[in-house]
Amino acid sequence: MMTASMTSTATAPDAATKTKGLLELRQVRKSYGGFVAVDQLDLTVQPGEFVTLLGPSGSGKTTTMMMVAGFEEHTSGSVMIDGQPVDTLPPRERNLGVVFQNYALFPHMTALENVEFALRMRKVPASERRQRANEALKRVGLGTLGDRKPRQLSGGQQQRVALARALVFNPAALLLDEPMAALDKRLREQMQEEIKTLQKSLGISVLFVTHDQEEAMAMSDRIVVMKDGRIVQSGPPDEVYNHPLTDWVAGFLGDTNLIPCTVLERNGKEATVDLGGLGIARVRDQGAMGADYAVSIRPEHLKLSSTPPVDGGCGAVITSSTNLGATVRHRLTAGGHELMLREMSPESGTRSATDSLWVGWDPDKAQLLVLES
C-alpha cells in the first residue's frame, strides 16, 4: 500500500496569471457523417476550476475533451484557451497536460525518462529537463522511484508518473480522461483525494471525464451532465444531485423516488404540488418546463417516525428491509406509492412491518422536475 502523498512546490499564482487555464468551447459541434457526437456545445472552465464531464457511454464527454486537446477536429464552432482560439493548433502547441485512461507510458523508459519526454518534445535543454522531471516526481510522491520502469510500478504509481509528465511543463490546464478506471476501489478513492489536493495547491484548471457518479461528486467544483452530445444540467455537485431538472438526471446520479404530481402553483423557487395519496406539498422548483411533472426525493432524505411529522406526512408500511452495513434500505408503501428509504443502521433494534410509522421529508430536499422518460 502506498503511503507517500502528493505535495506541491508551486507558489500561488500572481496577477499576471489569473486568466491562465481559461478553457472555452463556443457552439462546438462534432459529427461523423450523419451522426452527431457533440451538438452545439457551450462550455467554460474558469481558471483554477475543477469541472467534470459526467455521462454514460456515448454521451460525447470524451469527444469533447479530445476536441479541447486537439486530438479530434471539431466540425464547427470554436475552442479557446486563455482567451485565444486554438482551432488550427496541433495538440503539442496547446499547452495542455493530458492523462489518458491507460496512462500511455513508454514501457522501455524509466519513470524519470517518461517525465522528461514531455520536456524533450519542447526542446528544453538536457540539464534543465532532468532537474524539472525530478521535481515533478517529488511533487507526486515518487521522488525515490525515478529509476523504475512502468512494469515495476503499481497502478497508482504509474498514474502518478503520468500526472507528473502532464504537469512538468507547467500547462495551462490539465485534461483527465477516466484516469482511475483501472484502479481498485480503495486506491481509486485515495488517488481522488490526492489529485484534488494537488490541483488545489497548484491552482490549475482541470477538465475531467468520468462515467462514475461518486467520483464526480467527490472531486468536482462543478459537474456538467451530458446526454446524447448535449449538456442537460450543470452546477455544483450538491445542487445537481439534490435538485435534478429531469427524471433522467435524477436516475443517472443515483437512487431516487419519482412521485408523479400535479402542479397547483409555481412561485419563484417554490412550487405547490398534489402528490395524490401523499397529499399537498411544497417543493423546490428550478423552473424546468415540460408536459409532465414529478417530485424527486432521494432515499436518504425520506424520514421515518413513530408520530406524524410537523410539516405533514403519511402513514407508511415497510414491505422489506436490506442491511447494507452502514445503512439500511427500506422499501415501503405510503399513500398508494412504493418508496425507497435509506437510513443509518440502528445500533440496536430493527423496524418491522408491524410498526406504526409515518414518512415525511424536508420540503427543501424535494425537487420538482420534468418527466422525460
The string of pLDDT tens digits covering residues 238-251 is 999 999 999 999 99
Contact of 86 with 65, CB cutoff 8 Å: no
Q: Which residue is associated with the grid cell 519513470? A: 111
In whole angstroms, give the CA distance from residue 152 to residue 172. 31
- CA torsion 222→247→265→261, rounded to 10°? -150
Q: For residue 60, give the nearest of 183, 246, 224 by alpha carbon.
A: 224
Higher pLDDT, 266 or 10: 266
Would you kindly state where each structural domain of the chain is located, as residue ranges? 15-242, 247-370
In sequence order, which residues have a C-beta less than 8 Å from that of residue 84 and are 6 or more positions away?
none
Give the rounded distance of the alpha carbon of 201 from its chain centre.
20
First-to-last C-alpha distance (Å) of the chain: 45
Residue 2: per-residue pLDDT: 39
Over residues 160-174, mean pLDDT: 92
Q: Which residue is associated with the grid cell 433522467? A: 248
pLDDT in tens, 243-279: 999 999 999 999 999 999 999 999 989 999 999 999 9
Please tell me the least confidently modeled range out of 13-27, 74-88, 115-129, 353-367.
13-27
In whole angstroms, give the CA distance from residue 82 to residue 269. 35
In the three-class reduction of DSSP (H, G, I as helix; E, B as strand; rest coil), residue 268 is classed as coil
In the three-class reduction of DSSP (H, G, I as helix; E, B as strand; rest coil), residue 156 is classed as helix
In whole angstroms, give the CA distance from residue 15 to residue 300. 44
Task: Give φ, ψ of 91 to 5 degrees.
Answer: -55, -40
pLDDT band at 35 (very low <50, low <70, confident <90, very high): very high
In sequence order, which residues have a C-beta less than 8 Å from that of residue 269 and are 6 or more positions away?
284, 285, 286
Dig out the grid coordinates for 302 from the structure: 425520506
Dig out the grid coordinates for 45 from the structure: 472552465
The listed range with the strongest mean pLDDT (41-45, 252-256, 317-321, 349-353) is 41-45
CB atoms within 10 A of CB 156: 20
C-alpha distances (whole Å) from 191 to each of 157, 178, 306 are: 10, 12, 43
Domain 15-242 CATH assignment equals 3.40.50.300: yes
Domain 247-370, CATH? 2.40.50.100
In whole angstroms, give the CA distance from residue 204 to residue 46. 10
In whole angstroms, give the CA distance from residue 131 to residue 149. 19
Residue 231: per-residue pLDDT: 97
Q: For residue 294, give the nearest of 260, 335, 343, 321 by alpha carbon.
A: 260
